[in-house]
Structure 1
Amino acid sequence: MKTIRNATILGLIFSAIAFPAIAQRTVESLPNGEYLLCENSPPTNNLLPRGQSCYQFTKIGDQIRGVFYRTATEELICVTGLVRNNTVFGEAATLVLGRYSQPMQISETERRNSFLYWQDNGYLQLRGQTILNVASTDRGQLNYTPWMLYHNARLDLSGFYVYPSRFMLNSLPNCQSIQ
């Protein structure tokens, strides 16, 4: 009986070492650095699974700044804030695709709405939206590129897995210049 218990304990220790995402750890407890967390466990090949939610970020103390996105799509949103356990509380910004000849407007109702979910997976809740219209000139034509800003964002990363750095994206938007 003693041998079975020791083997079981050794198996549990081996599992925690081989699969660190399974071990009880919070995003808040991660050391300062750059990370990629995704909703599914890392693949054994070098291909990032399509259609899953991921958050690539830099953590310094309890401050986090990064991009939440769905793999193999152009859907992404900058999320920055404070981390508590596995949840980021802060702000978010996303680019509205296209260029517009006039600044976009938003109604008071849209500004004060209750929390809405970004995508349909429930990880990211947003509220308090406004629009930042970034003006630019192209061949003498004034254009606006709108960013949708959310002054209240909550990103729940519970159950996400830490991925090796080889899966990190190289070209991400500069979220620091928007918020």
Structure 2
Amino acid sequence: MTEKQEKILNAALTLFAEEGFKSTSTSKVAKRAEVSEGLIFRHFGNKDGLLEAIIQMGEDQAKLLFADILMETDPKNVLRKFIEIGLNTSKDKEAINFWKLQFKIKWELEIYGEHKIEALEQALIKAFQTLRYLQPEKEANLLLTLMDGIATRMMLQKSFDLEGTIEFLKQKYKL
């Protein structure tokens, strides 16, 4: 990806989050990115192409976040690494801003993209099966849902006790 493409995507991500996807024109994106509108069309086709590229950025970042978990073979470490994922992310302001913008766009457009967590869900199910939980699929779904809520609170609630919540979950699952 070229430097100009990155500038376009970063400008689009920021504007889509600030003003909403529907209210943001490609001309606004071009102005924010300090490029011509034609360059946007050349690289991304149209505004929907920009959105697809931004969503792909989120999926790529998610794959990086989940890679270590997916490579893990010890079931307790799978759960621990997944539960601790927010601790590492919370220390990186740029990452937090990126995920805030991703969440905001997905809420506006009602896009969840559950396909991007299928491998992670399977890893959690396998971990719960190995640990002999009675309903491993439901446990995995519960943990995914909890972590989604924790991520939202981490990004929106300044006083949220992330470390305490993570420690509680680790105790709950005896990690």
Common fold: TM-score over 0.5: no
Over alpha carbons, which structure has the higher Rg? 1
Report the TM range for the smaller structure's normalisation: under 0.3
Normalized per residue, the structure richer in helix is 2
Give the TM-score normalised by structure 1. 0.25
